[in-house]
Structure 1
Amino acid sequence: MTFQTSLRAALLGLAAMAAAPAAMADQLADVKAAGKIVTATDMHYAPFDMLTNGTYEGMTKDLFDEVSKEIGAEPVYQDIPWTAELPGLEVKKFDIVIAPVTITPERLERYTFTLPIADATVALVKSANSDMKEPKDIAGKTVGVQQGTAQFRALEAFGKELGGVTIKEYGTTDEAYADLATGRLDAVAGSLPNLTYLVKNRPESFAMFEPANFGPPTYFAWVLRKGDDSASFATAINDALLKMTDDGRVKAIQEKWLGAYTELPREVPTN
């Protein structure tokens, strides 16, 4: 064997060793080996995620409890500010973001989404004594929305169509609702199920616009890192959600928290 042949063989061996960990990476296997799924969510997003007397509950928890059982690992729930969730996912601080994240074309390029878990169509809520009726009535008004969300972008675009809306951003929707209740805002934009839940539980303070929603239909889902290593994990979650849809668990959980059942796509929307 010549020196050049030996060098070539050594380099090929090193290349194979370097490639091996990437080829062997499998997030589902890692999760099962650890026996836990480390999650991130914002526990201030009723009815999906809430802290009630210090106890985490909501539609997201009920759904993910069942998904975790199907996968065979214990969920670890963490309360993380929304703006830190996707960046934290990218640097592997947790396995998955289970805060309801709106599926958008831009996010699809950067992350792996699970099947939808709920409707996310953008809507508007007002104070109970407001004389505004239709979404277009927010023209020239001050509207609150959670920062860094798809709802913010939808509101921004809708405001431009109307000729101008003053948008005030908040760290949580609870903060926006509080300002709406005290008259500091004219309306709040958010997803339809969140606002429906708010009005159902606080009709003395809030009311929906008629119609409440604006913009195209959108969906909430959970988010994983992009890449081949997350593919098996995403498949396991989607298989669990489909099984739960077919056996009625998804319907029961939706009706418990939203008061009604909405049939969801059985594939991840691509636009």
Structure 2
Amino acid sequence: MRKNSLLKGLLGAALLFGATISAHAADTLAAVKAAGTLKVGTETAFAPFDFIDAGKHVGLNVDLFDEIGKELGVKIEWVTLPWDGVFPALEAGKFDVVAGPATITKKRMERYRFTPPLAEATIAILKKAGDKTINKPEDIAGKKIGVGKATAQLDQLKEFSDTLPTKAEIREYPAFTESYADLAAGRIAGVANSLPNIAFVAKQREGTFEVVLPPFGKKSYFGFIGLKDADHAPLMDAIDAAMLKIKADGRMATLQKKWFGASFDTPDAVKDPAF
């Protein structure tokens, strides 16, 4: 009798423990609020979204997540790592959401959940100032062009290169800052990145770089990334609501003008990406 009671007690405790774990895992938003901290993963070599200036982490993402933190009532804790390690770290639970941002694509939407867009992500070419050999996107044919490793820009560049009479010689970089250094040194002829990024870099290094217009590829948008499961849905719902509020009251446009020099007319959600 005592043996049966003991077994029933152990079984009941195990079920209670399992239910407690399940409830905790299922309410990521509650866990974030209880801790008072939202952990955000990113790289710091993607100006003007995230970069290091005078030893300090700055950029649109930093300012925007400060506003999101205010709306959620939590502090922001940044976790930085190379871009190609960001998605595996998110899935391993190293942080709650990815700042990045990342281009919203069909393939990524199959695996991850995106927030409302915060900027356009249409791709363009950055060249050395005074370079007369690249005057339009098609002029990169046969030239060495840098691009970020494991990025949507890489996929678009490859697709565009395949349409040229001579394919571009594509060089992948762990961080865009390295590609800009090689461009300045003349080791490559151009860098393919989103128009907001290279417009910022060209402005910061006027006389060194120029933007090649028009942009090319399909119109796309940047968004923040979270896990696409029921456990994280409440947190992602809260972040979405915060971003839409920030957009509606004008704070988003103010930050876009601060970091890009212009604001973007973005949709509240991207349900069917161009690629």
State how far apart, in whole Å, the 2-side matches of 1:87 and 1:174 are: 22
Partner-residue secondary structure (3-state), 2:212: strand
Partner-residue secondary structure (3-state), 2:256: helix
State how far apart, in whole Å, the 2-side matches of 1:179 and 1:152 are: 17
Aligned position for 2:157: 155
Match runs of 1:187-266 below 5 Å: 187-211=190-214, 213-266=215-268
Shift of residue 268, structure 1, vs aligned partner: 3.2
Shift of residue 37, structure 1, vs aligned partner: 0.6
Shift of residue 270, structure 1, vs aligned partner: 2.9
Aligned position for 2:103: 102
**Once superposed, which parts of structure 1, at least 4 consecutive aligned residues long, lie more than 3 Å away?**
13-24
Find the partner of 1:167 among 146, 149, 170: 170
- Deviation per CA, 1:72-120, whole angstroms, max 9, x where unpaired? 1100012211011100000101111111111111110111111111111
State how far apart, in whole Å, the 2-side matches of 1:86 and 1:46 are: 19
Partner-residue secondary structure (3-state), 1:125: strand
Contact 1:38 1:96 in 2 (8 A): yes
Aligned position for 2:5: none
- Deviation per CA, 1:24-67, whole angstroms, max 9, x where unpaired? 61111110011101111111111111111211111110001000
Unaligned runs of 5+ in 2: 1-10
Shift of residue 15, structure 1, vs aligned partner: 8.2
- Deviation per CA, 1:116-161, whole angstroms, max 9, x where unpaired? 1111111111111211111000011110001010000110111111
State how far apart, in whole Å, the 2-side matches of 1:115 and 1:16 are: 38
Aligned position for 1:129: 130
Match runs of 1:173-192 below 5 Å: 173-192=176-195
- Deviation per CA, 1:1-41, whole angstroms, max 9, x where unpaired? xxxxxxxxxx9x98897577446611111100111011111
Contact 1:134 1:210 in 2 (8 A): yes
Q: CA RMSD in A?
A: 2.0
Contact 1:103 1:269 in 2 (8 A): no
Contact 2:113 2:227 in 1 (8 A): yes
Unaligned runs of 5+ in 1: 1-10
Aligned position for 1:84: 85
**TM-score under structure 1 length normalisation:** 0.91
Percent identical = 42
Aligned position for 1:26: 27
| Matched residue count | 262
